[in-house]
Each structure stands twice: as C-alpha cells, then as structure tokens.
C-alpha cells in the first residue's frame, strides 16, 4: 500500500497539498501528516511512506535535520522539499541528502502533480521487487512457522499468482522450494553444532512430524539426519 507523508508546521499548507494532490491517480492509499520533524520520524518508522514531502523551517526538528535522518534511516523513501525559499543554500543541502525535487510555496497544483507523477512512478517501479524481497526476508526469519503461498498473500496484500511469478523470477526457485532450502540449511547447522535429538531439530525447523522430516532430509541431502551427523563427527 503506497503511503505519502506531508510534513509542515503550517496546517493550511498540509491541507493544500492534501486537497491538490491527485492521490488516487497515483495509487496512493494513505496521506499522512506531521507538523514537525519529530512527529515525522515516528510516523516514518511506523508507516514507512514511499514519499515524504517536507517543509524546511519547522520547530523541534527542521527539514534539513529530517532529510539527514531519512537519508540514514529510511533511504527507500523518496523526499520532496516544500519551501518558500528559492535559495541555493537550501537546495544544495537538499540535493546532498538525496532530495528527489523541491516545490515552492504557495503550491501550484500542476507542478505538485507533475512532481508526484515522477516521484511515485519511480516508487511503483522500485516497489515491484521490494515486497518479494520482504517475503524472502520474512521466510528467513520465520522458517520454523507454518509458511504458505496463501499466508504470504494475506500478510503482504499481494495475489498468490503475483507472488508465485515474481518470487521465481527473483530467487530462481518457487516459494515452497525456498522455504525448504532455508529449513534444510538450518537443520544441517543444528545437526553439526548441537546435541538436539532429531525430533527436536525437526520441530526447530518447522516440521511437526519427525518421520516426515527424516524422509525430506534424506531426499534433499542424500543421507538421513543421523548419517549426516555421524559424517560431521568423523570429519571433526
């Protein structure tokens, strides 16, 4: 879900941007607001907006400080500067921290939507792979849990068909094969480094049935879990 964050200490400016932006046209599902950089940081960490439109001069944490923070902590978010100051010193620092563009106040609707179009087109292109990478990371962190294509579809709000196609393109294997590879690698690590019983290893990598685990392990690795452990011990 594409989100945009507007950061400005002036409520009328935030309202103007909200009203003038053609959000549905650009696939934006949520337009968030913050009145200073401190509020913005909390929202960015929680919501991970694709695009941030930020004022320069604000209390508590100004736009330059926020840009520096975004550059270090939320680099996947694009940033557009809102400013009443058409000054090179501001723009130079904005460029330094990777600002996508800047908008002069008062906001011109055509200029705003042209900027949104360019910024969000890039976001939509970038985001086609980002969710798949997130799914891959989720699998790596939750391999011991029940994982399925349907479960990933529900968690990441993507169709099963889309995940299946893009995952194979990005990882070279389908999702279930990737899950199995992660589980087998962890099982081998546990058999090498721990004294856990086979059924404990099976449970630790997401198998509730240790007989099925033994069968799958032999098919994937070529030997049974006990034989694998014995081989490791002989080589030590």
Work out the number of other CB atoms within 10 angstroms of the CB of residue 136: 16
What's the farthest any 2 CA atoms get from each other in the chain? 75
Task: Give the C-alpha distances (Å, rounded to integers) separating 106 from 17, 82, 109.
Answer: 10, 9, 10
Q: pLDDT in tens for each of the 236 residues of the chain? A: 689 999 999 999 999 999 999 998 888 889 999 999 899 999 998 888 989 999 887 777 666 788 888 888 887 788 898 887 655 556 666 666 567 788 888 899 999 999 998 888 766 556 656 788 889 988 998 999 999 999 998 888 788 888 998 899 888 999 999 999 999 999 999 999 999 999 999 999 999 999 999 999 999 999 999 999 999 888 87
The superfamily in CATH containing domain 130-235 is Homeodomain-like (1.10.10.60)
How do the domains of the chain map onto residue ranges? Answer: 2-127, 130-235
The pLDDT mean for the chain works out to 87
pTM over 0.75? The answer is no
Question: Domain 2-127 classified CATH 3.50.30.30?
Answer: no
The confidence score (pLDDT) of residue 227 equals: 96
The number of angstroms, rounded, from the C-alpha of 177 to the middle of its chain's C-alpha atoms is: 22
The confidence score (pLDDT) of residue 127 equals: 61
Q: Are 69 and 41 in contact (CB under 8 A)?
A: yes
Q: Tell me whether residue 122 is exposed, middle or buried, using C-beta atoms within 10 angstroms of its C-beta: 0 to 12, 13 to 18, 19 or more.
A: middle
- Give the N- to C-terminal CA distance of the chain in Å, as an integer: 51
Q: Tell me whether residue 169 is exposed, middle or buried, using C-beta atoms within 10 angstroms of its C-beta: 0 to 12, 13 to 18, 19 or more.
A: exposed
Per residue in 91-125, pLDDT (tens digit) is: 666 666 567 788 888 899 999 999 998 888 766 55
């Amino acid at each position: 879900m594409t989100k945009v964050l507007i950061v400005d200490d002036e409520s009328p400016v935030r309202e103007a941007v909200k009203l003038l932006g053609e959000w549905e046209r650009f696939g934006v599902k949520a337009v968030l607001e913050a009145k200073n950089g401190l509020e913005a940081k909390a929202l960015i960490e929680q919501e991970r907006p694709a695009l941030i439109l930020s004022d320069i001069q604000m209390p508590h944490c100004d736009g330059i400080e926020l840009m520096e923070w975004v550059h270090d902590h939320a680099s996947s978010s694009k940033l557009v500067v809102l400013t009443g100051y058409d000054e090179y010193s501001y723009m130079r620092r904005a460029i330094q921290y990777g600002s996508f563009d800047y908008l002069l106040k008062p906001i011109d609707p055509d200029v705003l939507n042209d900027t949104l179009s360019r910024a969000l087109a890039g976001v939509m292109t970038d985001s086609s792979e980002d969710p798949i990478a997130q799914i891959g990371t989720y699998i790596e962190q939750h391999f011991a849990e029940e994982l399925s294509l349907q479960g990933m579809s529900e968690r990441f709000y993507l169709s099963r068909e889309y995940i299946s196609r893009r995952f194979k393109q990005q990882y070279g294997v389908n999702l279930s094969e990737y899950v199995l590879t992660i589980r087998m690698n962890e099982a081998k690590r546990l058999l090498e480094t721990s004294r856990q019983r086979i059924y404990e290893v099976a449970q630790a990598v997401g198998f509730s049935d240790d007989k099925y685990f033994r069968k799958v392990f032999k098919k994937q690795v070529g030997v049974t879990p006990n034989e694998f452990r014995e081989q490791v011990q002989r080589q030590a």
